[in-house]
Every structure is written in C-alpha cells, then in structure tokens.
C-alpha cells in the first residue's frame, strides 16, 4: 500500500476550510506569539505517564486530586482540551507515537503479544515507516529514552529496534509496574536493579543524568512513567484519598479503593514532574527546551463499572496534553481542536524545525499551537479498537469532537454523549439526536475511508 501523502491527510474526516478559525479556543496565541525561529533548534522533553486520564487533573477540572505542578505548567504553555488516545492501549499508542501512524497502519493493534511488534526475523514489523527518534537523530539531535518501553524487548543494544534512541538508553524491564523495586537496562546484557525507590523518582534522576551530560547538540528525551497504571499503590506520602466520595459514574458495588490509589499515584507523578521541571531550570535549559506532558491513554477505574481502558468513553480516551516552549508558544492558552496520538510526532517535529517525513499520517499542529495559523485542521479525532478480548465488544470505531463522543460497535451499543453537559457520560443520546448521530457516523465512515481502515461495520 503506498504511503499516504501527508498533506492529503488534512482531508481526514473534517469539514476542511481555510476560513474556519480557532480564535475562540486559542485567543492569546495570536498576541505576540509570532517570533523568529531560534538559530538553534530547541531541546525536546516529552514526558508521558501511563493511564492518566485528563479528568483526573486539576487544570482539566478535577477539584479532588492535587496536581499543582502540572496545573502551573499549564499556565506556562498551551493546554489541549481535546487530546485523544487514538487506540487506548499501551503498545498501540507507542506505535503511533514512534511512527505518526494509526494502529492499522503500523500494525500494533493490541497489547497481547509480541507478534504485532517484532517479526520472526527479530526486526520491528513496520520498519518501512519513519520513526520519531530516527528523524530527530538525522536532524542532529542527541536522543535518549528513559522508562517503560513496551515495543518488544527493552534489552537492546544500539540499532534499528531502538528507533533512533541510541545516545542514551535506560528502559524499564519486567515487571514494569512494580513501582518500588524495579530494574532497567542500558543495553542487551546490562541491567541495573533498584530497590526501595519510587520508580518515577529514580527515572527523574536518570533524566537528569542524560540532560546534564548533553553536548553542543540539541537533545530529545522521551521519559515514560509507569504510574498511575495499576497496581494503585501510591507512596505513603500521597496515600490520602481513602475518604473520597463516590462519583456518580461508579456503581455502588464497585470499590473506591482503586480510585483512591489512582488519585494518589497521579499526585505522586505530579510531584516528580515538578522535580523534573526544576531540574531543567537548575541546569539553565528551561528557556531552550520544548516540554510536553501527556499520557498514553486514560483509565476507567470503576467508571461505568469498568476497570480497563480499551473503550471509547472519555475517561479512557481523553488525556492531558500540555506543551511549553518559551518565546514561541503563548503562556496560559488552550487549543480545542481534536488532537490524536499520530499527531504527536509531526507536531513535535514542526515545533523543533525537524522535517516531517513523507508517509506520516498525523497532522502537524505546530503553527496552530503557536498562533501562526487559524485554519481548522480537524474538528473530529478518529478513535478505534481492533481485537475482542478484553474489550466488552468485538472492536469499535468512533470520533471525538470538542463537544461530543460517538462510537459504533458490531454487537454492542452505539454511543453518543454530550461531553460538556454530561462529562461523566451517563446519558446516551443515540436515540434522541438522530441528526447529530448521522453526522458523526458519517465522519467516522469518512475517517475510515481516508485512513484506509477496513472494518466489517463500515
């Protein structure tokens, strides 16, 4: 299948029009944000946790969990209000992050086995696709990776399977969700064991090691944290949510203990994010560094009686996404255009001045984030899940807009929720708003056609 032209992907299930504008959602990004590109490309610090849903963050409206560092960070950059995990599972997200492609394109459709990741020849299956690290390395970046890998074995010497992250490697190895006693590898046979140290805290120390040893080249660091993915056992200092009230979307027969632990882990990673920001400030690199905080997907944690993440509900698919680049991005602004996992690679490249390779399916939102473009790139983000277990239904497809979530399944329900009026998605409007249902279903079908996603329900 020929690689899709990057510019043509702007047709992706949108009502494309140059006259459309994001002025309402990005008011300040047109005010003094247009500055000349720096003579040196910025450093890039891309931080992503595991299973942190947007709704469990203070700056996204949660008044219970404490996230002071992420909230303050949002006031220093641009906060995306409709950032979506295009396939809410760990491995598929990482495939999209690395390639800028949707899961059916890069081939990593689920977490279940190595078969989607590494072929019989020991090489990464979608090797014809460009990758994030390789593209930045080719542009002169020093590239490092710290934390959870989950794209095949992390026991890797420099080479193709590191996707360009060959300058620094401290990838966590199994069990990756033991947050107190853990191990990481620096090569195929070099393993370091850590005991009695909260894993994200240790990984901030590793990040500092990479950043402080930088040479004259700009650097790219991907830092992948395991929490707040279960087990929901936060450090003692953050285990303070045991008396939370029951949210309306959690059934009475579902224990609140997982949510209490989840909130504690969210606060714990917020604390470590604060340490990380203090580190780059202390090292004198804050003004020259593009920093992103996001997550691979959300988590239900009891909402709708579910504990996983492979469903279209906003708690599973909507993630925090905040980006800061001093001198380029206006502080304290928001962008409401729907933004999906494949958009991360081209947007980071656009902000850093790195060429976006041909064949990348995602869109480059860098000019929009900088207030340098007002055309709407997209008004609905495509979402999907492909394989039955552990899904409640045998796969689904849908779209997320600024205001609504729509999803269709083969044998389960068709869903339509008003995300603003009903943020906990308690009232399915599928039988009450037929015109909107038909519009969003048409967008879903159009997205599948544009992205060459063949599915039996289409």
The model's pLDDT over 48-64, given as tens digits with 9 standing for 90+, comes to 999 999 999 999 999 99
**DSSP letters spanning 200-228:** HHHHHHHHHHHHHT--SS-EEEEEEEEEE
Q: What is the pLDDT of residue 130?
A: 86
Phi-psi region of 159 (alpha: psi -120 to 50; beta: other; left: phi over 0): left
> What is the structure's pLDDT at 316?
97
pLDDT of residue 2: 36
Look at residues 21, 121, 46 and name the one whose alpha carbon lies nearest to residue 336. 21
The answer on pLDDT for 122 being more than 70 is: no
pLDDT tens digits for range 165-215: 999 999 999 777 899 999 999 998 899 999 999 999 999 999 999 999 978
pLDDT of the residue at 115? 52
- The domain ranges of the chain are 21-378
- CATH code assigned to 21-378: 3.40.720.10
The pLDDT, as a whole number, for residue 153 is: 80
Does residue 394 have a pLDDT over 90? Answer: no
Beta bridge partners of 184: 172, 192
Convert the pLDDT of each residue in 339-388 to its tens digit: 999 999 999 999 999 999 988 999 999 999 999 988 899 999 999 998 65
Average pLDDT over residues 294-309: 95
Mean pLDDT over 400-414 rounds to: 92
Round to whole Å and give the CA distance between 379 and 392.
Answer: 28
Q: Average per-residue pLDDT in the chain?
A: 87
pLDDT tens string 435-458: 999 999 999 999 999 998 877 544
Distances (CA, A) of 115 to 121, 127, 428, 452: 11, 14, 37, 22
Percent of residues, the chain, with pLDDT higher than 90? 71
Q: Which pLDDT value is given to residue 124?
A: 59
With 0.75 as the threshold, say if the pTM is over it: yes
pLDDT-derived band at 1 (thresholds 50, 70, 90) equals: very low
Q: Rounded to an integer, what distance in angstroms lies between the CA atom of residue 458 and that of residue 453? A: 9
Decide if pLDDT at 119 tops 70: no
> 421 vs 160, which has greater pLDDT?
421
Integer Cα distance of 291 and 240 in angstroms: 29
Contact 50, 226 (CB under 8 A): yes
Model confidence pLDDT, tens digit, residues 69-94: 999 999 999 999 999 999 999 989 99
pLDDT value for 64: 98
> Quick one: average pLDDT of 284-288?
96
Higher pLDDT, 18 or 337: 337
**SS3 helix, strand, coil % of the chain, rounded to 5?**
30, 20, 50
pLDDT in tens, 129-156: 889 999 999 999 999 999 999 887 888 8
CA–CA separation, 256 vs 407, rounded Å?
A: 27
Taking only the tens place, the pLDDT of each residue in 220-257 is 999 999 999 999 999 999 999 999 999 999 999 999 99
Looking only at the bridges linking them, the beta strands covering 168-173 and 142-148 are parallel
């Amino acid at each position: 299948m020929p690689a899709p032209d990057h510019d043509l992907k702007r047709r992706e299930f949108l009502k494309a029009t140059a006259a459309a504008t994001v002025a309402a959602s990005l008011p300040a990004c047109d005010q003094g944000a247009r500055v000349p590109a720096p003579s040196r490309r910025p450093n890039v610090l891309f931080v992503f946790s595991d299973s942190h849903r947007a709704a469990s963050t203070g700056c996204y409206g949660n008044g219970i969990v404490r996230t002071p560092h992420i909230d303050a960070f949002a006031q220093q950059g641009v906060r995306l209000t409709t950032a979506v995990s295009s396939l809410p599972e760990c491995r598929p997200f990482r495939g999209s992050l690395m390639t800028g492609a949707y899961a059916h394109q890069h081939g990593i459709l689920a977490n279940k086995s190595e078969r989607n990741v590494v072929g019989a020849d020991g090489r990464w299956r979608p090797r014809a696709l460009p990758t994030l690290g390789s593209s930045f390395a080719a542009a002169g970046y020093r590239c490092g990776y710290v934390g959870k890998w989950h794209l095949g074995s992390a026991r890797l010497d420099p080479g193709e399977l590191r996707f360009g992250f060959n300058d620094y490697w401290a990838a966590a190895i199994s069990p990756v969700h033991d947050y107190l006693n853990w191990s990481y590898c620096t090569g195929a046979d070099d393993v370091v064991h850590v005991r009695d140290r909260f894993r994200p805290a240790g990984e901030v120390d590793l990040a500092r090691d990479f950043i402080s040893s930088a040479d004259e080249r700009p650097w790219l660091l991907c830092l992948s944290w395991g929490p707040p993915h279960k087990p929901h056992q936060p450090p003692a200092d953050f285990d303070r949510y045991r008396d939370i009230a029951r949210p309306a979307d959690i059934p009475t027969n579902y224990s609140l203990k997982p949510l209490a632990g989840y909130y504690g882990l969210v606060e714990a990673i917020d604390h470590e994010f604060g340490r990380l920001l203090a580190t780059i400030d202390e090292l004198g690199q804050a003004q020259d560094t593009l920093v992103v905080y996001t997550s691979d997907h959300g988590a239900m944690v009891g909402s709708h009686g579910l504990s996983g993440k492979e469903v279209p509900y906003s708690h599973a698919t909507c993630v925090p996404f905040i980006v800061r680049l001093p001198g380029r991005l206006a502080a304290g602004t928001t962008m409401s255009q729907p933004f999906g996992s494949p958009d991360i690679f081209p947007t980071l490249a656009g902000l850093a001045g790195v060429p976006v390779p041909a064949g990348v399916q995602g869109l480059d939102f860098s000019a929009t984030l900088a207030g340098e473009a007002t055309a709407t790139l997209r008004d609905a983000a495509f979402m999907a899940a492909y394989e039955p277990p552990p899904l409640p239904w045998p796969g689904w497809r849908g779209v997320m807009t600024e205001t609504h979530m729509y999803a269709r399944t083969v044998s389960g329900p068709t869903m339509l929720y008003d995300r603003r009026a009903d943020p906990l998605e308690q009232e399915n409007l599928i039988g009450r708003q037929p015109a909107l249902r038909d519009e969003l279903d048409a967008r879903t079908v159009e997205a599948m056609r544009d992205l060459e996603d063949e599915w039996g329900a289409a």
